[in-house]
Structure 1
Amino acid sequence: ETGWPVPSLAAPDADIRTDFPKYRIYRHGILTEEVSDITPYWEDDFVGFLIGCSFSFEQALINNGIAVRHIDEGTNVSMYKTNIDCVPAGAFHGQMVVSMRPVPERLAVRAAQVTSRFPAVHGGPIHIGNPGAIGIRDLRKPDFGDAVSIRDGEVPVFWACGVTPQAVAMNVKPEMVITHAPGHMLITDIRDESLAVL
């Protein structure tokens, strides 16, 4: 509800103003601050919302023998702006951001099957293979997060990413938007497997 900071369905004991590890504040499309508490910025007409995160399906990948490189390398996931247009919502429009995980080519179909069981947390990949086809010029230079190594025999696999609203905010330039910092999401008590569909 407008002005209400409690995500009642997903985490009824949480407060979206204080329970993320880090927030980003964008003013007129420009990142102006990173803070750990947005209570001083909260206004009665703000509307908060939660979206799923692809980190929620990573244990399922690991359980299926698919290593997650950014975990193995101790970094944040690689995230890239694309040329894929989002469906506009009122004044908000822009391109999708994707997260990328390198997967052995022989396991790419399995990765798609595993993650497709998690539609509430971005679901299956939106692209496999050629990054240029979705507007990514250089995998070594992510727009958000960190670059990870890609080994021989691996293909880049791309999933929709919860950083997309930040890219849209940078595009539309509203007076103020507050988001999570990439890789600093709200953790709830919802078990990953409970999000899977058969």
Structure 2
Amino acid sequence: MTAEGVPAPPDASRLTAGEARALFRRGIVAPSAGWADGYTQANLLIVPADLAYDVLLFAQRNPKACPVLDVLDAGQVTGRLLPDGDIRTDAARYVVYCDGVPVERPTDLLEVWQEDLVTFIIGCSFTFESALRAGGIPIAHIDQGVNVPMFRTDRRCRPAGSLAGPLVVSMRPVSPDRIADAVRITSRYPAVHGAPVHVGDPAALGIADLGSPDFGDPVDLPRGTVPVFWACGVTPQAAVMESRPGLAIGHAPGHMLVTDARDSDYLVP
């Protein structure tokens, strides 16, 4: 059972994207890694129209962390990536920011929705996790049943207008003999963060403690593995927290929008 009392499906990986969104619409709350295998998951950033240009420019200047898959016009609640869905209800969970401070983590946005809100749907590294697992590379957070660990780094993104902030990364431990394979597999998904930004010593990214992620949950690092870090779509939310716009909405980290796109749509030869 979830905190909201809605039963979790016995095998979420076998759901279609529409079935997954329907469960989240009902109020189920769970990290979405491993759900709806083969369907592309996405990060969200939703802002008033007067901030949308800055977000678009921020994404253009920082494409590794903010690969935009689609943008919904002001007030629009559905689109080609969720043709039967509703952006206000269909993500696994949301975060509402006021002046950069997270003030609410609702399961829907019906009470806070405004007709001037523009939605950015941003690529997510969950997209290439199926390919990693198919290649025989375990995913620790899925195997351990927790949310992926995410960390603020000391690397600065290129600012854009009113937005500035640090690069956020997600971490997955990988056996040293499989690191080259992990790089090769994920580099074929440039629209969803692509190859890692760093392998090895977390201190080189300004990360002091892998056991204390800024977002998500810590994972147990299997013996002999090396931490591998990918750019993360929570980066725009870190910029919101630093830049403090009046209103912004994101997905709760690790609780994504499951889209009708297929992971294979973003695979390059």
Q: TM-score, with normalisation over the residues of structure 2?
A: 0.71
- Which residue of the partner structure matches residue 91 of structure 1? 162
Cα RMSD (Å) = 1.1
- Which residue of the partner structure matches residue 137 of structure 1? 208
- Which residue of the partner structure matches residue 224 of structure 2? 153
The SS at the match of 2:121 is coil
Rounded Cα–Cα distance in structure 2 between residues aligned with 1:161 and 1:96: 8
- Which residue of the partner structure matches residue 184 of structure 2? 113
Rounded Cα–Cα distance in structure 1 between residues aligned with 2:133 and 2:249: 32
Equivalent residue pairs, number:
197
1:52 equivalent among 103, 116, 123:
123
- Which residue of the partner structure matches residue 31 of structure 2? none
Aligned partner letter, 2:96: I
The SS at the match of 2:150 is strand
Residue 219 of structure 2 is aligned to residue 124 of structure 1: no
Rounded Cα–Cα distance in structure 1 between residues aligned with 2:214 and 2:208: 11
- Which residue of the partner structure matches residue 191 of structure 1? 262
- Which residue of the partner structure matches residue 146 of structure 2? 75
Rounded Cα–Cα distance in structure 2 between residues aligned with 1:3 and 1:88: 26
Q: Percent identity?
A: 51
Q: TM-score, with normalisation over the residues of structure 1?
A: 0.96
The SS at the match of 1:18 is coil
- Which residue of the partner structure matches residue 64 of structure 1? 135
- Which residue of the partner structure matches residue 2 of structure 1? 74
The SS at the match of 1:165 is helix
Contiguous gaps of at least 5 residues in structure 2: 1-72
Shift in Å, 1:165 = 1.6
Contiguous gaps of at least 5 residues in structure 1: none
When structure 1 is superposed on structure 2, of 11-20 and 139-148 the one drifting more is 11-20
- Which residue of the partner structure matches residue 93 of structure 2? 22
Shift in Å, 1:145 = 0.7
Q: Deviations over 1:97-127 (max 9, x none)?
A: 1000000011111101100111111111011
- Which residue of the partner structure matches residue 7 of structure 2? none
2:239 equivalent among 168, 172, 187:
168
Rounded Cα–Cα distance in structure 2 between residues aligned with 1:27 and 1:149: 34
